[in-house]
Structure 1
Amino acid sequence: MNYVELDSYTRKWIFTHASMPVPEGDLALIRPFTQARSSDIWRDHISRQSPDADHFEKDDWAANEAMWSEPVEWQDAWDSDEPELPQEILDFIDWEDNTTVFFCYEKYNLIETKWGVFKRNWKNFLFFDDGPMLIGRKKTQTIWFQSNGSCTLGHREK
């Protein structure tokens, strides 16, 4: 079994919160991984040794500062009444809406969804903004969100 039922997911409330409920059709496409599967994906695509974004080591691709853009602000868009991601992010990511993406909170907490679902509900995912990364399956573009309301854009190693 690779997934946890959303009803059993410890952070389910971020998708069902009364102030920003995710539509039922999108909820069905938000699939938290088990801790074991999360760990495997993190190891294969993010880091072999670091458990979260605060502890990347020099051998981790994400630790290479040269690969990242200047910070892009997301907090103002999150606080606004408009649903769209900041335009800089939309300009950087050219994926089809059905592209499988992994939203990576930390080594043992990853969610699989589709790019279109993430775009529509990104504010819910960022209720927890302590360094999560968004990566696309078989894609190099990545977004690294920071708790200071900014993110950086880069191309990761596949």
Structure 2
Amino acid sequence: MSYLTLDEYQRKWIFTHQSMPVPDADLEAIKPMTQLRASQLWQENISVQSPDADRFSSSDWPMKESNWKETVSWMSEWESDEADLPEEVLAFIDWQDDVTVYFCYEKYNVIETKWSIFKKHWKNFLFYDDGPVLIGRRRKEALWFDSKGNVKLGHRS
């Protein structure tokens, strides 16, 4: 099995928190991966040797400045009553709603969902903002969030 149930997921509360609960229908589309599956996806798409963003090496694609076009702030939108991702992010990521995305917190903690679900509930995902990377299946565009409230917009190499 490649997924945990949401009840088994140690960070389930970020999707059920009373201040921003995700509706049950959308919860079904949020699929935390098992540690084994998350590790495989991380090693194939993010880094072979580094377990998290704090330990990326210079050979990991996220550390190559040439892969990043722009850095924008996400914090003001996160703190606002508006639900949308920052305008620059939505302009940069021009994916259909049904594109499968992977929100990669670290090597053993990856969530699979659809772009539509991530867009709608991105604030929940960013309760933990310690360097997660969002990638899409068979897509080159990537987002790299940091705890200072910024997101890098770029392309995987």
Q: How does the TM-score come out when normalised to structure 2?
A: 0.98
Q: Residue 125 of structure 2 aligns to which amino acid in structure 1?
A: F
Report whether the alignment pairs 1:5 with 2:5.
yes
Residue matched to 2:42: 42
For 2:59 and 2:126, the matched residues in 1 are separated by: 27
- Moved runs in structure 1, 4+ residues, more than 6 A? none
Q: Residue 154 of structure 2 aligns to which amino acid in structure 1?
A: G
Q: Please state how far the C-alpha of 1:30 moved relative to its aligned partner.
A: 0.1
For 2:71 and 2:155, the matched residues in 1 are separated by: 14
Give unpaired runs (5+ residues) of structure 1: none
Pairwise CA RMSD of aligned residues? 0.6
Q: Residue 68 of structure 2 aligns to which amino acid in structure 1?
A: W
Residue matched to 1:84: 84
User: How many residues are matched?
Assistant: 157
1:6-60 per-position Cα deviation (integer Å, ceiling 9, x unaligned) = 0110000000000000011110000000000000000000000000111111221
Q: How does the TM-score come out when normalised to structure 1?
A: 0.98
Report whether the alignment pairs 1:31 with 2:31.
yes
For 2:126 and 2:95, the matched residues in 1 are separated by: 20
The answer to whether the Cα contact below 8 Å between 2:70 and 2:154 also exists between their aligned partners in 1 is: no
Q: How does 1:1-158 map to 2 (within 5 A)?
A: 1-157=1-157
Q: Please state how far the C-alpha of 1:69 moved relative to its aligned partner.
A: 2.7
Q: Please state how far the C-alpha of 1:95 moved relative to its aligned partner.
A: 0.4
1:58-96 per-position Cα deviation (integer Å, ceiling 9, x unaligned) = 221111012113320000000000100000000000100
